[in-house]
Amino acid sequence: MLELDATDHPMELPERFDSYLECDFPKYSQKWEGCTHLYFLVCSCSHWYAVEVDIAKSTMFIYDPDRSCSTNDQIRTDLKPMTTILPMLMMKINIVIDALAIERITTTSKQSNS
């Protein structure tokens, strides 16, 4: 398991992010209060993988059946922006996340076509 510490990157969140927290953007967004999981995709070196963030567990689950495309160092680099922004967003709604663990899930099905 990899550890990423958000306190290594102290900074203020730009005001334009308030529109995400206040559900003004994107269209049809939901309130962050009560949010337990976040999902997003990452493209790295022409390879896509899915990320599930379990807020209660402070863990990012990486769904990547093809380990040959992304090393642990590459994943750490890919997720560095998210490990900075996510704790700052959560802090604005009084949820403290100091460190995010990363767990790779490689048992998912591999896409057979391009």
CATH of the domain at 28: 3.30.310
The residue among 2, 4, 17 whose CA lies nearest residue 84 is: 4
Residue 91 lies in a domain: yes
Instruction: Let me know: does 83 contact 59? Beta carbons within 8 Å.
Output: no
27: containing domain = 2-105
pLDDT tens digits in sequence order for the chain, 114 residues long:
444 444 544 466 667 666 666 666 566 667 777 788 889 888 888 888 899 999 889 899 999 877 777 788 888 888 888 888 888 878 877 888 878 888 888 777 776 766
Please state the pTM of the whole predicted model.
0.70
Q: How many domains does the chain have?
A: 1
Element (H, E) at 1: none
Query: 84: buried, middle or exposed (CB in 10 Å: 19+, 13-18, 0-12)?
Result: middle
SS percent in the chain: helix, strand, coil, step 5: 25, 30, 45
Residue 65 lies in a domain: yes
